[in-house]
Amino acid sequence: MKRCSATHCRAPVAKGQLFCGAHWAQVPERTRRAIHGAWRARDTQAYAEAFDAARNAIDLADGTFEDVMAPPPSRWIVPQHLGAAR
């Protein structure tokens, strides 16, 4: 069984889902779109960045960020070129 990717969450998730419903709801809209766009574009680099941004957003919302070094906020901004051909 696959589990939610949030740092301290053990909730089971369906195949193809990254986070449980509660945590996905905490991911900013633009980050969700970035994940989907990178997935469709088969852009693994952008996908990894968007995934990190999503998990960081969840960890901040959860207040469980204490043992993780937060990247500077500028790193969280999703690249505008995401989804474009490389």
Residues numbered 11-30 forming contacts with Zn ion, rule: CB under 5 A: 11, 20, 23
Nearer to Zn ion, 54 or 82 (CB): 54
57: contact with Zn ion by CB under 5 A: no
CB of 4 to Zn ion, least distance (A): 3
Place of tokens 């952008």: 46
CB of 9 to Zn ion, least distance (A): 3
Q: How far apart are CA 82 and CA 86, in angstroms?
A: 9
Q: How far apart are CA 55 and CA 76, in angstroms?
A: 11
55: contact with Zn ion by CB under 5 A: no
- The distance in angstroms from the start CA to the end CA of the chain is 34
